[in-house]
Amino acid sequence: MNTTLSRRKVLGGITAAVVGWSAASQSWATAAEVSGGASVAPVPTLDGTLTTSAADLDRFRQDFGRLKGSAPWAVLRPGSDRDIARMVCYARTNGLKIAVNGQGGTGTDQESHSVYGQASVPAGGISIDARARSRIIRIDSTSAVVEAGVTWGQLTDAALRSGLTPPALPDYMHLSIGGTLSIGGIGGTVQKYGLLCDTVQSLDVVTGNGDLLTVSPSSCADLFDSVLSGGGQTAIILRAKVRLVPAPERSVVFSLFYDDLATYLADSEKVMAENRFHIQAGETLRRPDDSGWRYKMEVAANYSGGAVPDRARLLSGLRDSRAEAVIEDIGYRDYMFRLDGYEAYLKESGHWYQPKPWLSLFLPASKTRTFMEIVERELTAADLGGGFLLFYPYYTRKVTRPLAVQPAEPVGYLFDLLRFPDPGETGIRAMLDQNRRLYDKAVAMGGKRYLVGAVPGMTRADWKAHFGARWDGFCRAKRRYDPSNVLTPGQGFFGGEAG
Ligand SMILES: Cc1cc2nc3c(=O)[nH]c(=O)nc-3n(C[C@H](O)[C@H](O)[C@H](O)COP(=O)(O)OP(=O)(O)OC[C@H]3O[C@@H](n4cnc5c(N)ncnc54)[C@H](O)[C@@H]3O)c2cc1C
């Protein structure tokens, strides 16, 4: 490792004259301390910056969930791949932890969109600011190469200029691509394309050994498989080659309401099996008079030019409450960015900034009804606040990445309890406990958790059970590619409590 000091590059703020890490005092040392005889491991020469100013550290203290707070000891804004490789080696040599922080969002609200400290470095360490690596490198007719800090929204806008789109997108577009691929990524085309990470063709990464590698299903496949949906455990994603497909111009969006769970489930699986729509989602919501739960299937048929979808044919045989159906014909981009208006509303109302104990699960179809009946008995309007509960089917075989573990049935249901508690809500701890209870019930029924979300008290044994037959291979990859266990401690898979 080149340990030439470059004080100019390391200075990140007026209080950040850091020149190296002092193992003795477990703190960064300044030039004055070094000249006073302190023994430090000098920070390597960087093309970007490493900052330790209090303001910078504070900005990385918490994530979107606002449930866990832990400021890093330094923030790396890498100017090159080499910076990341060097700082990984530096972390390794000096017993520090290091993790990428997605830093997506809109306006001045840039942060990790984890909700339970998954991107944090709980015992102190170095956060890598993903925004420093956010260039779109190339777009051709079937794929894009992007740096990990690019958001899905930025990629979509760039691809649309060429008449293209990523086939799989999250509902919220302002998430970093690196962060989303590290946990899987799901949206309303999962029935056809799988998770977002299923649309990745290759990756450039830095392993926990500091090695720069290009990985794909045919090159270092074990590393490729352990990075996608692997929670940042074996390597840091620098760039991803993501599939693109021709973009439609418009979407006809159908919101169909159901009062009865069994009918909602049957119709949801029917339209999926018949491949009627391009996009399929759905949610459970309170009845307008708050007397219980009802269901909304949200499905969309895309089109371009004059090939307008036949609405009557698309709706034939469905048993929704038709008088309440809402049908809109909107531009494809507007539909993809549909949560922007909701985000603005939640910011205005203050919900956006509350603690958010989310729970995200994958349920086996055969147990979904029983599970939902339990949930509906427990859950109140206050448990959702300004949020919602996504709940829709997909084919588990479409999820191909080994670490995105799935229920052992052909059809799974996404259960995504996206709570936005009302400002002043005092029951956050009870919501976390409820998450744990519901998680345990789901597991007993053959469910799996999605890596996002807040499930307290996850132990190594819980994670071992979660990954099941994939656990041993995952541990092997961890030992091979991150033998000093420096990468992404906030996931807590290999010890320590985390999301
Ligand atoms: C408002 C909102 C809407 C959301 N909508 C969706 C949705 O529609 N679909 C969906 O699937 N999820 C959704 N999520 C969840 C989201 O996918 C996760 O929060 C995820 O963690 C991505 O967020 P991020 O880009 O901020 O990454 P982070 O949360 O910062 O990172 C996630 C994990 O990956 C690691 N990591 C980040 N970048 C890299 C990298 N380059 N290399 C290696 N490891 C890395 C981090 O250290 C962390 O452990 C939503 C979240 C929010 C808050």
- pLDDT at position 26, please? 86
Ligand 1, atom 21, residue with closest C-alpha:
114
Distance CA 399, CA 195 (A): 6
Q: In this structure, how many other beta carbons lie within 10 angstroms of the beta carbon of residue 206?
A: 26
Q: Is the CB of 202 under 6 A from ligand 1?
A: no
| Residue 6 confidence (pLDDT) | 38
Tokens of 72: 């890093």
- Structure confidence at residue 17 (pLDDT): 60
State whether the beta carbon of 385 lies less than 6 angstroms from ligand 1.
no
Given a cut of 70, is residue 138 above it in pLDDT? yes
Say if ligand 1 is within 6 A of residue 182 CB.
Answer: yes
Report percent pLDDT > 90 for the chain.
Answer: 89
pLDDT at 258: 98
* Best residue among 147, 180, 419, 449 to mutate for probing ligand 1, ranked by most atoms within 8 Å of CB: 180
Mean pLDDT of 317-332: 98
Instruction: Give me ligand 1 centre to Cα 410, in Å.
Output: 26
Whether residue 341 is predicted with pLDDT greater than 70 in this model: the reply is: yes
359 CA → ligand 1 middle, Å: 14
User: Burial letters for 213-250: b for 16+ Cβ neighbours within 10 Å, e otherwise?
Assistant: bebeeeebebbbbbbbbbbbbbbbbbbbbbbbbebbeb
Overall average pLDDT of the 258-271 stretch:
98
Q: Which residues are bridge partners to 28 per DSSP?
A: 21
Question: What does each C-alpha distance from 430 to 208, 271, 499 come to in angstroms?
Answer: 37, 37, 16
Whole-number pLDDT of residue 104: 95
Token look-up 């979509």 returns: 156
Q: Is residue 33 very low, low, confident or very high in pLDDT (cuts 50, 70, 90)?
A: confident
pLDDT score of 69: 82
DSSP 93: H
Dihedral sign computed on CA atoms, order 264, 265, 267, 271: positive
Percent of the chain having pLDDT more than 70?
A: 96
How many angstroms does the Cα of residue 108 sit away from the middle of ligand 1?
Answer: 18
pLDDT, tens only, 355-404: 999 999 999 999 999 999 999 999 999 999 999 999 999 999 999 999 99
Separation of 258 CA from ligand 1 center, angstroms?
31
CB–CB of 351/421 below 8 Å?
Answer: yes
pLDDT (0 to 100) of residue 450: 97
Q: What is the pLDDT of residue 453?
A: 97
Q: What is the pLDDT of residue 31?
A: 77
- Phi, psi of 32, rounded to the nearest 5 degrees: -65, -40
Pocket lining: 101 vs ligand 1, CB cutoff 6 Å: yes
Q: Is the CB of 172 under 6 A from ligand 1?
A: yes
pLDDT band at 37 (very low <50, low <70, confident <90, very high): confident
Cα–Cα nearest to 167, from 139, 194, 134, 149: 194
pTM > 0.85 = yes
119 lines ligand 1 (CB under 6 A): yes
CA-nearest residue for atom 3, ligand 1, is: 172
Q: Is 187 in the pocket of ligand 1 (CB under 6 A)?
A: yes
Q: What pLDDT, on the 0 to 100 scale, is given for residue 1?
A: 33
pLDDT of residue 158: 98
Please give the helix or strand (H or E) that residue 154 lies within, else none: helix 152-160
Q: Which of 60, 81, 183 to mutate to test the pocket of ligand 1 (most atoms within 8 A of CB)?
A: 183
User: Among positive and negative, which fits the CA dihedral 229, 235, 240, 241?
Assistant: negative
Lowest-confidence range among 23-32, 92-101, 192-201, 367-376? 23-32
Q: 118 CB under 6 A from ligand 1? A: yes
If you average pLDDT over residues 472-478, what whole number do you get? 97
User: Which is the closest atom of ligand 1 to the Cα of 170?
Assistant: 8
Name which of 233, 278, 270 is nearest 496 in CA terms.
233
Does residue 236 line the site of ligand 1, with CB under 6 A?
A: yes
Residue 491 Cα: closest atom of ligand 1: 49
Residue 321, pLDDT above cutoff 60: yes
pLDDT for 365 = 98
Confidence of residue 408 (pLDDT cuts 50, 70, 90): very high
pLDDT confidence of 301, banded at 50, 70, 90? very high
Report the pLDDT value the prediction gives residue 164, as an integer from 0 to 100: 98
Does the pLDDT of residue 176 top 60, yes or no? Answer: yes
Is the CB of 206 within 6 Å of ligand 1? no
371: closest CA among 410, 324, 415?
A: 415
pLDDT band at 496, cuts 50/70/90? Answer: low
| Predicted pLDDT of residue 2 | 33
Band of pLDDT at residue 9, cut at 50, 70 and 90 = very low
pLDDT over 50 at 498, yes or no:
no
- Nearest CA, atom 11, ligand 1: 185
How far does the centroid of ligand 1 lie from the alpha carbon of residue 257, in Å?
A: 30
pLDDT of res. 5: 36
Q: How far is the CA of 73 from the centre of ligand 1 (A)?
A: 22
- pLDDT confidence of residue 13: 39
Cα 311 to ligand 1 centroid, rounded to whole Å = 36
pLDDT on residue 134 = 98
pLDDT bracket for residue 56 (50, 70, 90): very high
On whether the CB atoms of residues 84 and 236 are closer than 8 A, the answer is yes
* Whether the CB of 99 sits within 6 Å of ligand 1: yes
